[in-house]
């Protein structure tokens, strides 16, 4: 059960520290096992019979008889028995529990590997502690228990916090220790003596990472409401110590250190301030928490209980005002990391301290990778008592300031004052210097080191020919001094001495020891291997600024050319002689390596120093030995006294440790002096340099020419004085002009003239321009197959090496102009040469496309073209046949003779063609309909002018229209009738009277109308109609379709009109119109009687025939009736004499 409870404790971040015993209490009916050991168990000898010591994973500290070693170190060492000769001392239960606690490992020794074992120990302690009284428990020292429990909690915290903690703002891993320089922040109070550096140049902080907590900006008792509204995610560094103590809250607030003071370090901006701690508290001991619990102090401890360190016996001021007393302020620590208390704001007790936090500002602007750790390797020095490397924080990607040396202790036995930082980039930085962003490590340098990677002792040649050095060039002397290899001074050999710490002079003075100590400094020298000139006085050299320094540059490196310091007096003799002060350059060089100064035999060399013997005397060295020192008048000169200069390298910090680069000169069979071996010169790394002179070099044996060039390791030639690229590492002397091959890749083109296959150095060659390629424009020759860069027109006389060039072509564009000839605008096709092209599809009404006037290419040719469309006219001509107001424009398959004329008509035929050209017109007169196929075989009459057609004919006029393309169209009129003949009317005669209906026949093929008295009548199939009797005349008008008219007027009575006729005693009736006669009869005798009916006959020669009105067709009956009538009533008689 106890194991499960402890597991819960280790899984809860809020209970990382020691919880009260009550927190582990739970009811149990189990009886814990009792140790039965009579002697203390050891790690090598455990009592397996004991239910406690024999249990699985038991440890010696579980043993009831366990006695701790008096001088134990906290490690899991084996136990020892008591010194009592009578056996082990029986311990009290409380002592046994204390022994178990003391047997716990140190917190820093607890790892994942032994965590389970430590948990078992803690569980055993809990079980044993259950048996103790409260008074006994109070007497226990639980410090080690709390530290062990906290260490176990710290192991579990990262996992437990993963879901509850805010996202980390930075990728920097929490828990790391980083140092900050607070020396300039004017923090009040007394520096904490426990700090590794009480000067505050190196104050350790633990990076707590990102927490979500509130902070205050003014004095207030913090409420839960304020805390919830103002908590926010921010990242903190927490000081590992109270930085100062004996300091009150008010003084810190006056210094703006409670609520925040701006601070910058390594390019990162921070706020330096006290943390929020809560205005009250809950809980007790390690369960104690400030309230509100979202204060920064508890938030940091919640994240990892080890993030607040060194809290024991000292309080740390917080921001919050106490909720209990308004003039009190919250303090944390002292009894435990979680302990909360308060103190009067003006109190300055020794156990009241200022433990600041650094809040990282502008996290979004910095970015998650904005904090970069830079390692400081102490280089054998120490911070506090440790020589371990430490770390600082700088802004990623930015330069930063090299840290101070203050606060660091020099390595044991090092009493010097030299200090520099050596960057991971190989360059040295003094404290306060700007360090590039790419530096990730600085190593403290407490002793002089070489300023450059160049190995001391090497020989390098310098051109001093332009330095106007007075005197006679050193060709040796009769005493045996050795001559320069080149007395023209173009190639003067120097030995690189490296870096020495020595003094130099800037004016004529007798050098004192005090001056030398104050003015010695690290600097790097080259020293001439010979006296360069002789027979020159010190004063003559000084007149040319060659004693104390003349500016000189070579290979991009700046130097001072001068005499070395040599001491103003000497001590010792022979090879033990030294110039004094001994920190002069001459002796310092020899001290470093006695071979660095060469060819001193039989030649003195002037130094800078004034002799201590006399103000007008100057010191010189050499001749008898390298160490020989003496002096003479500054105006003295002879063949044995010369000028051996040194070259001091200037600006070593700017150059960097890799700033001096060696370039080899291969003499190519020539010689310098008597040697043909390679020599070396010094140039600035990464910079171009000037090609050395040929003067001073001797041509190869038998070479009487004048050509000279340097061939660089890059394959290019350089004349003396030319600028040589930085990548060149070797120059080889060329005494004869070489010839090189030239390869010209035409890339499909043809060189027509001026081809180049080789060139001679110094002469060069002009590349051909008469280069052609179908469809392309030549754009020049290029020195790479990718055709990048600029074109090359010629190989310069100073170029070297085989050359290969590639022709660059620019594809040409050409235009095909298509003339469609269809009434539309021209079509232009512009394409690159060789590009596929498609002929346009054209249309033209009435025409069939008939190709082009030239072949239409499928790809763009290498010329501009004009291509014209060809058309064949497939549209037949159009025309019109016109007669009077009638016109016909098409071919009629169905003919009706429906157009009539009674006069001669003129026929006009017109025609037109889409080509605009004349149309051939022909015509054919037909009296019937014809098909086009029938017409095709007929003979037409050429039409040249309108023609006439005569009456009394039927016509269908056909016109044949033929265009110049042979297209034929037929048009025709409808049926036309020319009728000049009037219609015929038969079976009646004009003016006659008919006594009965008449059948009239009309003789006309094209009858228009037949009218009787204006009323149209219809004819039967025989062209007849019946003319019925009518009162009065009837006029028959027949009109044909041509307008011809025949008119007949007749009278048709409805019966005869008789007139009485008598002859030969007979009477009858005869129609007076048609002469129809009735049957003849004898004339009857009429007896007339009646008084009132008197016929006078005296007036007549014959008998009287009396009548009233006779019927039209009298009969015997009606005649009798007439007589009867005449006899019955009175009549008006009409008497007619009958002869």
DSSP state letter for 108 = G
* 175 φ/ψ sector (left φ>0, alpha ψ -120 to 50, else beta): left
> Residue 973, preceding bond cis, omega within 30 degrees?
no
Region 758-779: mean pLDDT is 94
Which two tokens mark 807?
């022709």
Q: Are strands 1105-1107 and 1134-1136 parallel, antiparallel or unpaired?
A: antiparallel
User: How many Cβ atoms from other residues are within 10 Å of residue 647's Cβ?
Assistant: 26
Distance CA 973, CA 896 (A): 10
Please state, as a whole number, how many other Cβ atoms lie within 10 Å of the Cβ of residue 251: 18
Q: What letters, b where the CB count within 10 A reaches 16 and e where it falls short, cover 757-784?
A: eebebbeebebbeebebebbebebbbbe
pLDDT of residue 71 exceeding 50: no
pLDDT bin (cut points 50, 70, 90) of residue 7 is very low
Tokens of 308: 């607040």
CA–CA distances in Å: residue 767 to residues 226, 496, 795, 835 = 84, 48, 7, 30
Q: Are 524 and 489 in contact (CB under 8 A)?
A: no
374 with 345: CB under 8 angstroms?
Answer: no
Residue 837 and residue 859: Cα distance in Å, rounded?
A: 5
- Helical pair 93-102 and 143-161, crossing angle rounded to 10 deg: 50
Q: Is residue 510 within 8 Å of 615, Cβ to Cβ? A: yes
Four-way CATH pick for 984-1052: 2.60.40, 3.30.2390, 1.10.1740, 1.20.120: 2.60.40
Torsion angle (degrees, nearest 10) of CA 558, 559, 560, 561: -120
Is the separation of the CB atoms in 305 and 206 below 8 Å? Answer: no
pLDDT of residue 1112: 46
801-825 mean pLDDT: 95
Position 1127 scores a pLDDT of: 40
Please report the pLDDT score of residue 428 as a whole number. 82
User: Residue 946, Cβ neighbours under 10 Å: how many?
Assistant: 13
Tokens standing for 420?
Answer: 């520099």
User: What tokens does 331 get?
Assistant: 């303090």
Give the CB-side neighbour count of residue 38, counting CA atoms within 13 A: 2
Confidence band, pLDDT 50/70/90 cuts, at residue 50: confident
pLDDT tens string 111-133 = 888 888 888 888 888 888 778 87
Instruction: Tell me the residue length of the chain.
Output: 1139
Residue 35 has a pLDDT of 73
Asked if 298 and 250 touch (Cβ cutoff 8 Å), the reply is: no
C-alpha 694/C-alpha 720 separation (Å) is 7
> In this prediction, what percent of the chain has a pLDDT beyond 90?
72
Helix (H/G/I), strand (E/B), else coil: 228: helix
Q: How many C-beta atoms surround the C-beta of residue 993 within 10 A?
A: 14
Q: What angle do CA 968, 969, 973 make, to 5 degrees?
A: 145
Average pLDDT, the chain: 88
Q: Are 151 and 306 in contact (CB under 8 A)?
A: yes
For residues 1111 and 1004, the model is more confident at 1004
Per-residue model confidence as pLDDT tens digits over 890-907: 999 999 998 999 899 999
Query: What is the second-level CATH architecture of the domain 878-978?
Result: Sandwich (2.60)
Distance CA 162, CA 1018 (A): 121
Element (H, E) at 254: helix 249-254
- Exposed/middle/buried for residue 358 (C-beta within 10 Å: 0-12, 13-18, 19+): buried
Whether 550 contacts 562, CB under 8 Å: yes
Q: How far apart are CA 1108 and CA 1126, in angstroms?
A: 7
Given a cut of 90, is residue 271 above it in pLDDT? yes
Query: Which is nearest to 10 in space by CA: 98, 110, 143?
Result: 110
DSSP string, 1118-1135: HHHHHHHHHHHS----EE
Contacts of 937 (CB under 8 A, 6+ apart): none
Both tokens of 492, joined, read 């003067």
Q: Which residues pair with 527 in a beta bridge?
A: 495, 646
Q: Are 265 and 184 in contact (CB under 8 A)?
A: no
Tell me: the pLDDT tens digits for 15-47?
333 333 333 333 333 445 667 776 767 656 777
- Name the H helices within 73-223: 93-102, 115-129, 134-139, 143-161
CA of residue 677 relative to chain centroid, distance: 55
Q: Which residues of 597-626 are buried (b: 16+ CB within 10 A; e: fewer)?
A: bbbbebbbbbbbbbbbeeeebbbbbbbeeb
Is the per-residue pLDDT at 1092 higher than 60?
no
- Tokens representing 913? 């063609």
Quote the CA–CA distance of 1050 and 1013 in Å, as a whole number.
Answer: 11
Angle at 128 between CA 126 and CA 132, to 5 degrees: 105
pLDDT in tens, 1048-1091: 999 999 999 899 899 999 989 999 889 999 999 998 765 655 55
> If DSSP states are collapsed to H, E and C, what string results for 970-994?
EEECCEEEECCCCCEEECCCCCCEE
So what's the pLDDT on residue 61? 61
CB-side exposure of 1048: number of CA atoms within 13 Å?
21
pLDDT reported for residue 915: 87
Positions of E strands within 794-896: 794-795, 803-811, 813-819, 827-832, 847-852, 865-873, 878-883, 886-888
From the list 245, 233, 322, the residue with the least C-alpha distance to 280 is: 322
Q: Are 271 and 260 in contact (CB under 8 A)?
A: yes
> Can you tell me the distance from the alpha carbon of 969 to that of 919, in angstroms, rounded to the nearest whole number?
10
Q: Report the 10 Å Cβ neighbour count for 354.
A: 26
Q: How is residue 166 annotated by DSSP?
A: P
pLDDT at 883: 96
- Closest listed residue to residue 428, CA positions, set 522, 498, 497, 500: 522
Residue 1061's SS3 state is strand
pTM for the model stands at 0.45
Reply yes or no on whether the pLDDT at 446 is more than 70: yes
pLDDT of residue 305: 94
Does residue 148 contact residue 207 with C-beta atoms inside 8 Å?
no
Rounded distance between C-alpha atoms, residue 973 and residue 451, angstroms = 121
Average pLDDT value for residue range 827-847: 94
**Tens digits of residue pLDDT in 322-355:** 999 999 999 999 999 999 999 999 999 999 999 9
Domain 814-873 is in which class? Answer: mainly beta
How many angstroms separate the CA atoms of 717 and 797, rounded? 9
> Could you tell me the pLDDT band of residue 357, with boundaries at 50, 70 and 90?
very high
Bridge partner residues of 428 (DSSP) = 422
**CA 260, CA 1010: separation in Å to the nearest integer?**
133
Nearest-CA neighbor of 627 among 575, 685, 703? Answer: 575
- CA dihedral of residues 891, 896, 899, 900 (deg, nearest 10): 140
Whether the ω angle into residue 292 lies within 30 degrees of 0, i.e. cis, is yes
The pLDDT, as a whole number, for residue 2 is 37
Which pLDDT score, from 0 to 100, does residue 824 have?
A: 94
In angstroms, the CA 965 to CA 974 distance is 28
DSSP three-state, residue 552: strand
- 739-811 classified as CATH 1.20.1050: no
For residue 1110, pLDDT over 80 is answered with no
Q: What is the pLDDT of residue 1086?
A: 59
> Could you read off the pLDDT of 377-427 as tens digits, one per residue?
999 999 999 999 999 999 999 999 999 999 999 999 888 888 989 899 878
Is the confidence at residue 851, as pLDDT, over 70? Answer: yes
- Indicate the pLDDT class of residue 161, thresholds 50, 70 and 90: very low
**pLDDT above 80 (res 72):** no
The string of DSSP letters for 729-798 reads: -EEEEE-S--EEEEEEE-TT-EEEE----EEETTTBEEPP-EEE-TTEEEEEEESSTT--S--B-EE-TT
């Amino acid at each position: 059960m106890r194991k499960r409870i402890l597991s819960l404790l280790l899984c809860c971040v809020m209970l990382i520290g020691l919880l009260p015993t009550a927190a582990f209490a739970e009811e149990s009916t189990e009886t814990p096992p009792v140790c039965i050991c009579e002697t203390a168990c050891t790690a090598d000898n455990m009592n397996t019979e004991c239910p406690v010591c024999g249990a699985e994973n038991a440890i010696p500290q579980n043993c009831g008889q366990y006695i701790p070693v008096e001088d134990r170190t906290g490690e899991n060492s084996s136990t020892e028995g008591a010194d009592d000769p009578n056996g082990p001392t029986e311990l009290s239960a409380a002592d046994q529990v204390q022994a178990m606690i003391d047997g716990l490992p140190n917190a820093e020794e607890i790892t994942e590997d032994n965590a389970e074992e430590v948990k078992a120990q803690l569980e055993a302690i809990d079980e044993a502690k259950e048996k103790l009284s409260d008074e006994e428990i109070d007497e226990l020292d639980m410090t080690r228990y709390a530290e062990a429990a906290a260490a176990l909690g710290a192991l579990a915290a990262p996992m437990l916090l993963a879901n509850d903690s805010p996202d980390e703002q930075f990728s920097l891993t929490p828990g790391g220790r980083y140092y900050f320089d607070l020396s300039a922040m004017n923090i009040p109070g007394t520096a904490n003596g426990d700090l590794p550096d009480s000067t505050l140049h190196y104050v350790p902080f633990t990076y707590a990472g990102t927490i979500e907590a509130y902070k205050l900006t003014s004095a207030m008792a913090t409420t839960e409401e304020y805390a919830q509204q103002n908590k926010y995610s921010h990242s903190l560094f927490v000081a590992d110590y109270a930085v100062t103590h004996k300091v009150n809250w008010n003084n810190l607030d006056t210094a703006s250190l409670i609520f925040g003071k701006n601070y910058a370090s390594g390019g990162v901006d921070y706020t330096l301030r006290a943390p929020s701690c809560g205005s009250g508290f809950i809980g007790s001991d390690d369960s104690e928490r400030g309230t509100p619990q979202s204060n920064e102090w508890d938030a940091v401890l919640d994240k990892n209980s080890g993030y607040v360190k060194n809290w024991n016996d000292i309080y740390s001021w917080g921001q919050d005002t106490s909720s209990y007393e308004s003039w009190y302020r919250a303090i944390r620590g002292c009894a435990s990391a979680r302990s909360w208390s308060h103190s009067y704001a003006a109190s300055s007790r020794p156990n009241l301290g200022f433990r600041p936090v650094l809040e990282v500002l502008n996290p979004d602007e910095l970015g998650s990778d904005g904090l970069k750790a830079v390692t400081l390797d102490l280089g054998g020095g120490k911070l506090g008592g440790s020589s371990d490397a430490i770390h600082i924080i700088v802004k990623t990607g930015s330069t930063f300031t090299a840290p101070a040396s203050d606060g660091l202790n020099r390595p044991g036995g090092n009493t010097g004052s030299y200090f520099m930082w050596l960057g991971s980039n190989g360059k040295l930085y003094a404290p306060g210097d700007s360090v590039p962003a790419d530096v990730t490590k600085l190593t403290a340098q407490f002793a002089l080191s070489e300023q450059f990677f160049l190995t001391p002792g090497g020989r390098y040649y310098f051109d001093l020919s332009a330095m106007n050095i007075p005197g006679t060039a050193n060709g040796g002397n009769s005493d045996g001094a050795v001559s320069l290899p080149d007395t023209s001074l173009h190639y003067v050999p120097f030995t690189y001495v490296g870096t020495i710490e020595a003094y130099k002079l800037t004016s004529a003075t007798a050098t004192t020891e005090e001056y030398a100590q104050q003015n010695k400094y690290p600097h790097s020298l080259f020293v001439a291997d010979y006296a360069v000139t002789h027979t020159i006085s010190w004063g003559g050299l000084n007149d040319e600024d060659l004693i104390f320094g003349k500016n000189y540059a070579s290979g991009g490196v700046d130097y001072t050319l001068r005499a070395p310091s040599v001491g103003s007096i000497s001590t010792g003799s022979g090879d033990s002689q030294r110039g004094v002060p001994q920190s002069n350059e001459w002796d310092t060089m020899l001290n470093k390596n006695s071979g660095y100064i060469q060819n001193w035999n039989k030649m003195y060399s002037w130094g800078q120093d004034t002799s201590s013997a006399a103000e007008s005397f100057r010191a010189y060295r050499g001749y008898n030995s390298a160490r020989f020192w003496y002096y003479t008048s500054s105006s003295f000169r002879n063949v044995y006294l010369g000028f051996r200069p040194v070259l001091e390298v200037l600006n070593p910090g700017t150059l960097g440790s890799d700033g001096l680069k060696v370039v080899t000169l291969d003499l190519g069979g020539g010689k310098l002096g008597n040697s043909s071996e390679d020599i070396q010169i010094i140039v600035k790394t990464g910079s171009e340099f000037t090609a050395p002179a040929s003067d001073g070099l001797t041509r190869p044996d038998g070479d009487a020419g004048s050509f000279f060039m340097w061939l660089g390791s890059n394959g290019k030639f350089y004349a003396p004085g030319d600028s040589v690229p930085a990548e060149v590492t070797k120059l080889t002397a060329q005494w004869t002009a070489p010839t090189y091959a030239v390869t010209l890749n035409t890339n499909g083109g043809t060189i027509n003239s001026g081809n180049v296959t080789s060139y001679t150095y110094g002469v060069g060659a002009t590349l051909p321009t008469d280069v052609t390629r179908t469809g392309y424009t030549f754009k020049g020759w290029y020195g790479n197959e990718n055709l990048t860069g600029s074109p090359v027109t010629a190989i310069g006389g100073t170029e070297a090496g085989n050359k290969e060039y590639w022709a660059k072509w620019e594809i040409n564009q050409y235009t095909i102009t298509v003339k469609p000839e269809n009434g539309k605008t021209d079509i232009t096709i512009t394409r690159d040469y060789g590009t596929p092209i498609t002929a346009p599809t054209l249309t033209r009404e009435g025409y069939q496309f008939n190709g082009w006037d030239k072949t239409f290419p499928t790809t763009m040719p290498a010329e501009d073209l004009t291509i014209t469309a060809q058309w064949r006219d497939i549209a037949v001509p159009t025309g019109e046949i016109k007669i009077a107001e009638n016109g016909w424009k098409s071919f009629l398959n169905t003919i009706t003779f429906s157009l009539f004329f009674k006069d001669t008509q003129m026929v006009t035929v017109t025609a037109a063609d889409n080509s605009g050209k004349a149309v051939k017109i022909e015509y054919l007169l037909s009296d019937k309909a014809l098909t086009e196929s029938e017409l095709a075989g007929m003979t037409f009459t050429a039409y040249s002018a309108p023609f006439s057609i005569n009456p009394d004919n039927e016509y269908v006029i056909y016109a044949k229209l033929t265009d110049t393309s042979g297209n034929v169209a037929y048009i025709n009129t409808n049926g036309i009738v020319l009728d000049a003949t009037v219609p015929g009317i038969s079976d009646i005669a004009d003016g006659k009277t008919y006594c009965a209906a008449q059948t009239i026949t009309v003789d006309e093929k094209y009858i228009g109308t037949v009218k009787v008295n204006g009323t149209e009548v219809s004819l039967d199939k025989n062209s007849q109609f019946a003319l019925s009797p009518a009162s009065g005349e009837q006029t028959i008008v027949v009109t044909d379709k041509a307008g011809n008219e025949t008119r007949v007027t007749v009278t048709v009575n409805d019966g005869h009109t008789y007139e009485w006729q008598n002859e030969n005693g007979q009477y009858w009736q005869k129609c007076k119109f048609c002469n129809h006669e009735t049957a003849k009869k004898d004339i009857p005798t009429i007896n007339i009687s009646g008084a009132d009916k008197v016929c006078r006959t005296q007036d007549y020669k014959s008998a009287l025939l009396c009548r009233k009105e006779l019927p039209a067709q009298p009969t015997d009956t009606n005649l009798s009736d007439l007589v009867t009538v005449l006899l019955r009533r009175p009549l008006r008689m009409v008497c007619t004499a009958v002869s």
